[in-house]
Amino acid sequence: MSLSRAVSSSLGCTACKSAIARSSRAHLPSNGFKPHASWKSPITPSSRPFQRSFTSNATFRADKDDPATEDPQFAFLDPEPAASEPTPTPTPASESASAPEPAPAAASIPWYLQNRPTPTPHQAALIPDLPPNPPPLLATLLDYLANTAGLDDITLLDLRHLDPPPALGPKLIMVICSARSEKHLHVSADRFSRHLRREYRLKPNPAGLLGRNELKIKLRRKAKRMKMLANVGGAEQPEGNIDDGIRTGWICCTVGKIEAHEADTHMPGDDVEEFVGFRDMKPGVNVVVQMFTEEKRAEVDLETLWSGVLKTHERKDRTAEEALKALEEVEEEVENRATEPVKKPVAEPTSEVPPVLQFKKTRPTAGDVFPPASNPEAATHMRRLHTVGLRV
């Protein structure tokens, strides 16, 4: 009855008031009390009904808590179809308006049990382009890192043609990506490693990853150490010192050797007998995923390091190719000259020239009496000395 009064005080429609009065008569005690015909007439103390407390059993409480049970006190809110009025013919506009109404079965399901629609991302994850002749598994790994793990700024470095190969392995493909926080970094690396073991039977090695129990142990030891320092009066650890073995900021996940492309069968150094360096003759491609936080990635800057190595290698390859091309051109020119037939010069007809008398001066010998002198005057003087006694 108290509910009917509270509802009737807030409603002003006489039809609603009469419906409330009819629904409340079933709950009145059978003591011969009749309610007033007018709701506006004051109720005197002598005319008030006899009030008594009543208890509700378990069955009534269970029915009340059940959302599917209809409450008779709110029966007036249900629309009652009029028998005299004909049912209007539905129009296409009314059908389209009534289409989005949910089914009664779906309306009875609580909101926390309803299946929520899959959220559509506002911006698709950016996946880098694949290199030429990529491994078949590379596209799947990039899709997992971008969409499932939620890593950002993914960069792909193709180091398969470096000679000598890097220490991480020959025919290396390096993937660099960023995590949003330290926790996101460790969770992504842990789930990525478990995914590779479960789905592809690989043996990844995540260097720098703290296990699920290892982090708790390190935090407990750190709290114990800080408590001991506080007891002996030691200074607290500065906020800037984050090198405590808990915050790494960098996880190098070595995926291992995966199947290579059909056209990618060359191994660096396979044609060298006395090879010096890191080399594995087993076919396949090594994949390494470098996971960073934003601060650690800017500090390490692996992109600049390996981009410089790639540029240097490309420049050396270009220089070697140019020198080899020039040498091939020279050899080809020499071969062309050797294969060409030798052309003999044609002798031109000469005209007849009369012979010329040539005087040839005889050379002196050791048996000559008067050998020729270099100076003509000295020769004359010597002749005079030998002919002094011959003159008459």
Please compute the mean of the pLDDT values over residues 270-289 and round it to a whole number. Answer: 74
Asked whether residue 27 is assigned to any structural domain, the reply reads yes
Q: Indicate the average pLDDT of the chain.
A: 73
pLDDT score for 241: 52
Structural domains of the chain, count: 2
Instruction: Check: CB of residue 171 under 8 Å from CB of residue 260.
Output: yes
Instruction: Check: CB of residue 145 under 8 Å from CB of residue 137.
Output: no
| 78 compared with 161, residue with greater pLDDT | 161
- Tracing tokens 């398969």 back to the chain, one arrives at 160
Statement to judge: residues 147 and 254 lie in one domain: yes
User: Full-prediction pTM beyond 0.75?
Assistant: no
| Alpha carbons 243 and 83: distance in angstroms, whole number | 82
pLDDT winner (highest mean) among 58-62, 116-120, 301-305: 301-305
Asked whether residue 362 is assigned to any structural domain, the reply reads no
Q: Tell me which H or E stretch contains 140.
A: helix 138-143
| 266 compared with 7, residue with greater pLDDT | 266
CB contact set of 184 (below 8 Å; sequence gap of 6+) = 150
136 CB-contact burial (10 Å; exposed 0-12 / middle 13-18 / buried 19+)? exposed
| Alpha carbons 20 and 73: distance in angstroms, whole number | 7
Q: What is the torsional sign of CA 172, 177, 181, 187? A: negative
Statement to judge: residues 48 and 197 lie in one domain: no
Residue 269: count other Cβ atoms within 10 Å of its Cβ.
17
Would you tell me the crossing angle of helices 14-24 and 2-10 to the nearest 10 degrees?
Answer: 180
Asked whether residue 280 is assigned to any structural domain, the reply reads yes
Please compute the mean of the pLDDT values over residues 281-300 and round it to a whole number. Answer: 91
Statement to judge: residues 284 and 197 lie in one domain: yes
Considering 76, 101, 118, which residue would you say is the last residue of a domain?
A: 76
Statement to judge: residues 156 and 64 lie in one domain: no
Statement to judge: residues 198 and 279 lie in one domain: yes
Does 25 score more than 70 pLDDT? no
Asked whether residue 265 is assigned to any structural domain, the reply reads yes
Does 37 score more than 50 pLDDT? no
Statement to judge: residues 178 and 41 lie in one domain: no
Statement to judge: residues 32 and 166 lie in one domain: no
| Alpha carbons 249 and 26: distance in angstroms, whole number | 72
Asked whether residue 374 is assigned to any structural domain, the reply reads no
Statement to judge: residues 33 and 178 lie in one domain: no
Asked whether residue 24 is assigned to any structural domain, the reply reads yes
**Range list of H helices, 209-343:** 214-231, 294-300, 302-339
Whole-number CA gyration radius for the chain? 55
Task: Using pLDDT thresholds of 50, 70 and 90, give the confidence band for residue 27.
Answer: low
pLDDT score for 8: 47
Please compute the mean of the pLDDT values over residues 264-280 and round it to a whole number. Answer: 67
Asked whether residue 210 is assigned to any structural domain, the reply reads yes
133 CB-contact burial (10 Å; exposed 0-12 / middle 13-18 / buried 19+)? middle
| Alpha carbons 270 and 279: distance in angstroms, whole number | 9
Length of the chain, in residues? 392
Does 57 score more than 70 pLDDT? no
Asked whether residue 321 is assigned to any structural domain, the reply reads no
CATH code at position 261: 3.30.460.10
Statement to judge: residues 154 and 278 lie in one domain: yes
Q: What number of helices (H) and strands (E) belong to the chain?
A: 11, 5
| Alpha carbons 47 and 384: distance in angstroms, whole number | 197
**What's the pLDDT tens digit per position in 207-246?**
989 877 887 888 888 889 888 888 887 555 555 554 567 7
Residue 27's domain spans which residues? 2-76
- Give the residue among 30, 23, 35 at the shortest CA–CA distance from 71: 23
Considering 24, 56, 76, which residue would you say is the last residue of a domain?
A: 76
**What's the pLDDT tens digit per position in 149-199?**
999 999 999 999 888 888 888 899 999 999 999 889 999 999 999 999 999
- Give the residue among 246, 253, 248 at the shortest CA–CA distance from 300: 248
3 state SS of 226 = helix
